[in-house]
Structure 1
Amino acid sequence: TMHREKLSYRETARQFDISNSRVTAWERIYLEEGADGLYAERRGRKSTGRPPKIKKEEDLIAEVQRLRAVNAYLKKLNALVAERVQQEKKHK
């Protein structure tokens, strides 16, 4: 309608009771993707974050070693706590 009737953003927005920014966004989509682009579902924001970093093999090996050490520590800690609980039950 805007192009066919040679309307400004403001006139188009007023005619359809929408914001100027919505008209601008729809025109950009129309010019980039054609009329079919206006039918695509577009909700929320696009992700602007970096893609996840691909870890190197050395980094993965180091992470596995660290996690194994943490796991071993937690097992020992759990055993110590269980032993202390057992001792406290004996003394009651």
Structure 2
Amino acid sequence: MRRKYSIKFKVQVAKHYLSRIEGADLTAKRFKIDHGTVRKWAEVYKAHGHEGFETSYHRFSAASKEAVVLDMWENHLSSRQVAAKYKIAPPTASKWERLYNSGGIDALRGNRKERPPMIKTIKITPKLPSTQSPSFNSEQEELEYLRAENAYLKKLQALIQQENELMQKKKQKS
């Protein structure tokens, strides 16, 4: 569960840790927070001071994301350090690095996750033949009718099986 902490509290934690009286683990115990959070807040405070904790929403272009990743590599910065420097979340910095490694700047262009379109499932219930069988003028007509009915049922079964396999794959991905 994430808790929202005040800027005053974050500054207090960062200053305490940066005073080097206690390390990250002891500071975390003292303030009852995670030691990773202590380090993250300290990096933000070192980079931006008090203003670093004020929320700002900024969209980064692909070129800006690339610059962040290249700065990370050139200056041997951790994701936590680069996140503090550019006021982004450490997982975001790591994600951009991973994307850039896999596909260059083009991979950084699509920053919005789009939901895949919902697959509309249609329940197909075959119409069972009525108790009255159709009348045929010849055996040939009856044979053609039965072949068509058989082909229809086979196709229907194949479609149902295909839909079930698609649903299974979808469940495995989730």
TM-score (norm 2): 0.27
Q: Which has the higher contact order (CA 8 A, sep 6+)?
A: 2
TM-score w.r.t. length of structure 1: 0.47
